[in-house]
């Protein structure tokens, strides 16, 4: 009886509020908070009210609110549209309709309704927040930031707006703006644990490991069982290459029963770095057995494949991840990186274009795009991109490497060396050390370059670019036997994509072993038939040994495809036809060669950099790294 009385009393007040709401559709109403305990009875009451009076707009609205809470989105949309049709200028009704459409992933429609509500009530702060979330979903991050700025101009103490501002700025990799929002939050709510955790994550994402370590220690002093901080500290230890500390954190999380798939992924990568490949693969296989759609576990397996030089397997795993989540820009970016590593530039460019189409803001994507432009000789565009990216993160390792590469391309080796040495003082990374070793080699500082490559290979014995650079350095120092042994070890591996065959063959040719060199090159072309560097070396060797018929076959086939060696191949084919007394082919090919090397055309194009280079001065790095561990 008492319960029935309360229900009638609630209905009475709801009707009273609805009456007031009809006289002023945008008057803030006191709505009953919903939770798991009361939502079922709430929906039942609102259905009863609405069935009693189909024109009861407030009952339709409340019913929609309850249905939305239960995730019954179709029924929620039907109910809220009744309310909106009855009162199209009610901002509260329009806002709820937007929320329902958002829940149905109809983000553009949700944004339309929220903008309509703002026309009715521009001071309704929650609308700006909702709009920001809608714009975020369609990757209109700039509009999301504008909406949040609008809310904060109206209320400088709007905690939720600051929180989402920080989160969205992290997505845009505008870490300074994110930190500014977090600092404002901490003024308003200094003990807010979510905000403190967000600040820690920004430091980690920035690569500011020292302040991140200090903050993590402070937060754990407040609460030693703070799982999210322990997990963030685990990531921090992994990124700082502190395997013992990282393993300690994993054991602690396991003891607490809080080990998540992401933690196990890091565990697998740590095992791999210890050389325990089988154990690492077992961890990832267990994750995929429990959830075959675990994209992060697939990427972890791709990472393990890369560490042992299995680029094809890594590419297959990334492509499998794309089948599961085909709207993730980072997966297309990783695919592009792997394809570039394999010198598959056409498909790599397509994958990179798709990544930039989905999200053109992340710094790594822009850097990879700039590196491709550098490979194509588009120097001015690269310079503009570098200046723009400096404003985002002037100390980014890959940006500094790109700057050094640009200086190298311009022949400014001393400036490149100075830049890299300054960068290494701030942050010593494998990438920067490799770039410096290459610059030292180009300056003919061979003993110093060798000392760097030796250190690099201690850290990463299978890094092909380091192996290649060390082998070339050893050759310059007349240590041919050691260079040959290093290169031969990579003939059966995939990382070099045939360039190990070229290097071994060149060393044998230096020794006058043309026949042995040809055998190596032929084996390489069996695996990599479109590796033009192998064709160039083999055709040269055939000319030396006067095997003109063999040279004719490979050169004619090579000229059927576009390559950076067109002029060289034509010139050699002219010589071959002359030796074979094929006058018709000789004259035809000579004309082609002359047209390609017409002095007038060459003079006109002197100011235009080469359109395409098969291999840059520094082969494209695989940018597959711990970025897959970052959360949105």
User: Do 340 and 300 reside in the same domain of the chain?
Assistant: yes
| Tokens at 546, concatenated | 């006067």
In a domain, 610, yes or no: no
Cα separation, 547 vs 551, whole angstroms: 6
User: Do 308 and 327 reside in the same domain of the chain?
Assistant: yes
User: Do 355 and 301 reside in the same domain of the chain?
Assistant: yes
CATH number at residue 410: 1.25.40
pLDDT at residue 583 tops 80:
yes
* Whole-number pLDDT of residue 366: 87
Measured CA angle at 170 (ends 206, 117), to 5 deg: 170
Confidence of residue 308 (pLDDT cuts 50, 70, 90): low
75 exposure class (CB count in 10 Å sphere: 0-12, 13-18, 19+): middle
**Domain final residue pick, 377, 394, 428:** 428
In a domain, 336, yes or no: yes
* Whole-number pLDDT of residue 3: 40
User: Do 380 and 339 reside in the same domain of the chain?
Assistant: no
Highest-confidence range of 254-263, 540-549, 597-606, by mean pLDDT? 540-549
Highest-confidence range of 44-58, 200-214, 350-364, 491-505, by mean pLDDT? 44-58
In a domain, 383, yes or no: yes
User: Do 334 and 424 reside in the same domain of the chain?
Assistant: no
Cα separation, 433 vs 122, whole angstroms: 55
Total number of residues shown for the chain? 632
pLDDT at residue 161 tops 90:
yes
**Domain final residue pick, 336, 359, 382:** 359
- Per mean pLDDT, which range of 120-124, 371-375, 618-622 is the poorest? 618-622
pLDDT at residue 610 tops 50:
no
Give residue-wise pLDDT tens across range 98-147: 999 999 999 999 999 999 999 999 999 999 999 999 999 988 889 999 99
Contact 577, 589 (CB under 8 A): yes
Cα separation, 281 vs 273, whole angstroms: 12
Question: What sign results for the dihedral spanned by CA atoms 342, 347, 352, 354?
Answer: negative
Q: How far is CA 67 from CA 47, 63, 77, 190, 471, in A?
A: 10, 6, 9, 36, 68
* Whole-number pLDDT of residue 260: 87
Confidence of residue 48 (pLDDT cuts 50, 70, 90): very high
What angle do helix axes 159-171 and 193-206 make, rounded to 10 degrees? Answer: 20
pLDDT at residue 379 tops 80:
yes
pTM, rounded to two decimals: 0.64
* Whole-number pLDDT of residue 459: 81
Q: What is the mean pLDDT of residues 261-273?
A: 85
Cα separation, 272 vs 275, whole angstroms: 5
Give residue-wise pLDDT tens across range 4-32: 333 433 333 332 333 333 334 444 456 88
User: Do 354 and 265 reside in the same domain of the chain?
Assistant: yes
pLDDT at residue 625 tops 50:
no
For 584, other C-beta atoms within 10 Å of its C-beta total: 8
* Whole-number pLDDT of residue 600: 45
pLDDT at residue 531 tops 50:
yes
pLDDT at residue 561 tops 50:
yes
Per DSSP, the residues of 531-575 read -HHHHHHHHHHHHHTT-HHHHHHHHHHHTTS--TTHHHHHHHHHH
User: Do 355 and 277 reside in the same domain of the chain?
Assistant: yes
Cα separation, 386 vs 379, whole angstroms: 11
**Domain final residue pick, 359, 384, 412:** 359
User: Do 387 and 373 reside in the same domain of the chain?
Assistant: yes
Task: Residue 299: name the closest of 283, 319, 279, 282 by CA.
Answer: 319
Alpha helices (runs of H) in 172-294, residue ranges in sequence order: 175-188, 193-206, 209-222, 227-239, 243-255, 261-273, 277-290
Q: What is the domain extent for residue 302?
A: 260-359
Cα separation, 464 vs 487, whole angstroms: 9
Task: Residue 374: name the closest of 423, 415, 409, 347 by CA.
Answer: 409
What angle do helix axes 499-510 and 480-488 make, rounded to 10 degrees? Answer: 150
- Per mean pLDDT, which range of 313-317, 580-584, 610-614, 628-632 is the poorest? 610-614
Cα 320 → chain centroid: 16
Give residue-wise pLDDT tens across range 315-346: 899 999 999 998 888 899 989 988 887 778 88
Calculate the average pLDDT of the chain.
83
* Whole-number pLDDT of residue 631: 40
User: Do 314 and 331 reside in the same domain of the chain?
Assistant: yes
422 exposure class (CB count in 10 Å sphere: 0-12, 13-18, 19+): exposed
Give residue-wise pLDDT tens across range 28-45: 456 888 899 999 999 999
Number of domains present in the structure of the chain = 2
In a domain, 438, yes or no: no
Cα 624 → chain centroid: 8
* Whole-number pLDDT of residue 309: 66
* Whole-number pLDDT of residue 612: 23
In a domain, 242, yes or no: no
User: Do 340 and 386 reside in the same domain of the chain?
Assistant: no
For 318, other C-beta atoms within 10 Å of its C-beta total: 27
- 397 vs 442 pLDDT, higher one: 442
The pLDDT > 70 percentage for the chain reads: 89
Ramachandran region, residue 36 (left: φ > 0; alpha: ψ -120 to 50; beta: rest):
alpha
In a domain, 304, yes or no: yes
* Whole-number pLDDT of residue 597: 67
Long-range contacts of 416-422 (CB under 8 A, 24+ apart): 417/443
In a domain, 582, yes or no: no
CATH number at residue 312: 1.25.40.10
In a domain, 479, yes or no: no
User: Do 394 and 344 reside in the same domain of the chain?
Assistant: no
User: Do 343 and 297 reside in the same domain of the chain?
Assistant: yes
Confidence of residue 603 (pLDDT cuts 50, 70, 90): very low
* Whole-number pLDDT of residue 8: 36
* Whole-number pLDDT of residue 598: 55
* Whole-number pLDDT of residue 29: 54
| Tokens at 372, concatenated | 């491709």
């Amino acid at each position: 009886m008492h319960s029935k009385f309360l229900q009638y009393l609630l209905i009475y007040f709801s009707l009273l509020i609805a009456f007031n709401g009809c006289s002023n559709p945008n008057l803030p109403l006191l709505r009953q908070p919903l939770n798991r305990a009361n939502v079922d009875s709430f929906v039942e009451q609102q259905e009863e009210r609405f069935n009693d009076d189909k024109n009861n707009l407030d009952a339709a609205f409340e019913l929609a609110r309850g249905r939305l809470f239960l995730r019954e989105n179709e029924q929620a949309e039907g109910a809220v549209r009744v309310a909106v049709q009855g009162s199209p200028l009610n901002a509260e009704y329009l806002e709820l309709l937007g929320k329902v459409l958002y829940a149905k992933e109809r983000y553009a429609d949700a944004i339309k309704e929220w903008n309509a509500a703002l026309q009715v009530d521009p001071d309704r702060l929650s609308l700006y927040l909702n709009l920001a979330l809608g714009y975020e979903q369609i990757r209109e991050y700039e509009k999301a930031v504008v909406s949040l700025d609008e809310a904060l101009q109206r209320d400088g103490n709007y905690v939720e707006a600051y929180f989402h501002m920080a989160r969205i700025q992290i997505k845009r990799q505008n870490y300074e703006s994110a930190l500014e929002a977090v600092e404002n939050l901490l003024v308003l709510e200094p003990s807010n644990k979510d905000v403190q955790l967000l600040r820690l994550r920004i430091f980690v994402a920035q690569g500011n490991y020292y302040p991140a370590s200090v903050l993590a220690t402070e937060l754990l002093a407040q609460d030693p069982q703070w799982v999210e901080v322990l997990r963030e500290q685990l990531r921090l230890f992994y990124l700082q290459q502190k395997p013992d500390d990282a393993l300690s954190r994993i054991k602690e999380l396991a003891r607490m029963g809080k080990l998540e798939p992401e933690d196990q992924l890091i565990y697998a990568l740590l095992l791999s770095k210890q050389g325990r490949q089988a154990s690492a693969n077992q961890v990832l296989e267990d994750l995929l057995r429990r959830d075959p759609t675990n994209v992060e576990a697939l990427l972890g397996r791709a990472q393990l494949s890369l560490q042992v030089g299995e680029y094809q397997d890594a590419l297959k795993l990334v492509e499998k991840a794309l089948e599961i989540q085909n709207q993730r820009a980072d997966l297309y970016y990783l695919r592009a990186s792997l394809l570039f590593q394999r010198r598959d530039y056409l498909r790599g460019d397509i994958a990179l274009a798709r990544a930039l189409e989905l999200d053109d803001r992340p710094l790594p994507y822009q850097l990879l795009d700039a590196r491709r432009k550098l490979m194509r000789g588009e120097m001015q565009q690269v310079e503009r991109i570098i200046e723009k990216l400096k404003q985002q993160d002037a100390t980014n390792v890959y940006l500094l490497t790109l700057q050094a590469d640009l200086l190298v391309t311009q022949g400014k080796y001393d400036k490149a060396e100075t830049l890299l040495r300054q960068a290494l003082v701030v942050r010593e990374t494998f990438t920067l050390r490799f770039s410096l070793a290459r610059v030292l080699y180009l300056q003919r500082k061979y003993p110093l370059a060798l000392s760097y490559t030796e250190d690099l290979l201690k850290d990463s014995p299978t890094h092909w670019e380091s192996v290649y650079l060390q082998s070339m350095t050893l050759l310059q120092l007349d240590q041919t036997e050691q260079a040959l042994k290093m290169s031969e070890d990579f003939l059966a591996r995939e990382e070099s994509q045939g360039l190990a065959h070229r290097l071994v063959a060149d060393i044998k040719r230096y020794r006058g072993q043309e026949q042995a060199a040809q055998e190596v090159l032929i084996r390489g072309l069996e695996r990599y038939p479109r590796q033009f560097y192998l064709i160039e070396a083999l055709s040269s060797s055939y000319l030396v040994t006067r095997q003109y018929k063999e040279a004719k076959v490979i050169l004619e086939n090579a000229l059927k495809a576009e390559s950076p060696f067109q002029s060289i191949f034509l010139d050699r084919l002219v010589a071959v036809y002359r030796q074979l007394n094929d006058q018709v082919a000789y004259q035809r090919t000579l004309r082609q060669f002359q047209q390609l090397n017409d002095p007038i055309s060459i003079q006109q194009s002197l100011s235009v950099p080469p359109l395409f280079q098969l291999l840059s001065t520094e082969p494209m790095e695989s940018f597959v790294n711990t970025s897959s561990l970052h959360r949105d």
